[in-house]
């Protein structure tokens, strides 16, 4: 039995996709409405990675995005500011220069985002440069090619090298759950990412494949829960791709709360990558 099979064996195999869908639907049916409150929306506001990842991004547009976060600081003492500003590596230095809001992290995609199809040396160098320029958090895509051909040695080695290049920065590994399709693949990818150094596992890039699903989040949370029991190490979860409304966010909040518990309802362990969601929550909360 290989070391990877030994590792997978430590985890309970995921249920069927149909069984997971039923459990997710039961959780949402019982909990979603009661958690759609101002107090919960205030908490979720503080879990958001305010994101801009377009080909039209410029220093000016990213500076304005950062100023929005600066301007929000203190305007609602009862509402925490966003958790992070999330951009391409090219704009990390711009965010660092513009950012005055306290306790807001600087996050960047790296490693050949969004396909991860480039040389490992490029991924490591890009990560190191982003951290050097001021990134507190790095999001990279798991190498799906390696995963699909079960080349777990190269997959794990690559992530471990990127983790080393992060130094003290947080590493979030994007599984691209829309490409992995089923619970079995999402389960295995989650295990591999965590044992290769991921501080967070993240659903999606939002580029080219379906975004987050409640079923994927449920499966990832189950792996995180078992991983914590085995290693006594808490890993975080980030939801991204298609979370646009308060109702969307509340559903993921319910999944995390149900599977992982209250301890995970904190920006150090739970993030939502979004831009439109912020507008919706702020409109609902008012001035």
Which of 43, 123, 136, 139 is flagged as catalytic?
A: 139
What are the C-alpha distances in Å from 136 to residues 83, 157, 275? 11, 22, 19
Q: What is the per-residue pLDDT for 230?
A: 96
CATH topology of domain 3-285: TIM Barrel (3.20.20)
CB 27 within 8 A of CB 217: no
CB 163 within 8 A of CB 195: no
pLDDT at 1 over 60: no
- pLDDT tier at 111, thresholds 50, 70, 90: confident
Annotation marks residue 238 as catalytic: yes
**What mean pLDDT is predicted for residues 82-99?**
98
CB 188 within 8 A of CB 8: yes
Q: Are strands 105-110 and 137-141 parallel, antiparallel or unpaired?
A: parallel
Which of 43, 172, 202, 267 is flagged as catalytic?
A: 202
| CB crowding 34-73: b at 16 or more within 10 Å, else e | ebbeeebbebbbbbbbbbbbeeebeeeebbebbeebeebe
Per-residue pLDDT of 217-233, as tens digits, reads 999 999 999 999 999 99
Annotation marks residue 153 as catalytic: no
Surface-to-core class of residue 110, CB atoms within 10 Å of its CB (0-12 exposed, 13-18 middle, 19+ buried) = buried
Annotation marks residue 257 as catalytic: no
Q: What is the per-residue pLDDT for 2?
A: 83
Per-residue pLDDT of 38-51, as tens digits, reads 999 999 999 999 99
Which of 123, 163, 238, 257 is flagged as catalytic?
A: 238
Domain boundaries, the chain: 3-285
- pLDDT tier at 210, thresholds 50, 70, 90: confident
């Amino acid at each position: 039995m290989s070391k990877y099979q030994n590792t997978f064996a430590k985890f309970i195999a995921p249920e069927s996709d149909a069984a997971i869908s039923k459990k997710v639907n039961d959780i949402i049916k019982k909990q979603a409405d009661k958690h759609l409150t101002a107090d919960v929306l205030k908490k979720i506001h503080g879990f958001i990675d305010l994101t801009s990842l377009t080909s039209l991004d410029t220093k000016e547009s990213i500076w304005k995005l950062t100023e929005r976060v600066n301007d929000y600081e203190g305007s609602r003492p009862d509402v925490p500011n966003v958790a992070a500003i999330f951009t391409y590596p090219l704009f990390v230095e711009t965010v660092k220069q513009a950012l005055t809001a306290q306790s807001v992290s600087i996050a960047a995609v790296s490693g050949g985002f969004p396909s991860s199809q480039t040389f490992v040396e490029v991924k490591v160098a890009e990560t190191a440069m982003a951290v050097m320029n001021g990134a507190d958090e790095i999001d990279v895509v798991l190498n799906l090619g390696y995963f699909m051909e079960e080349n777990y040695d190269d997959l794990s080695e690559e992530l471990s090298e990127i983790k080393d290049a992060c130094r003290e920065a947080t590493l979030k590994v994007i599984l691209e759950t829309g490409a992995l399709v089923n619970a079995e693949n999402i389960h295995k990818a989650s295990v591999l990412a965590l044992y290769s150094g991921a501080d967070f596992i993240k659903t999606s890039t939002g580029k080219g494949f379906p975004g987050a699903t409640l079923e994927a989040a449920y499966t990832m949370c189950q792996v995180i829960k078992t991983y914590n029991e085995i290693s006594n190490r808490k890993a975080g979860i980030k939801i991204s791709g298609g979370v646009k409304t308060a109702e969307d966010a509340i559903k993921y909040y319910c999944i995390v709360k149900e599977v992982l518990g209250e301890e995970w309802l904190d920006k150090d362990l739970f993030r939502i990558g979004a831009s439109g969601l912020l507008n919706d929550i702020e409109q609902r909360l008012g001035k």
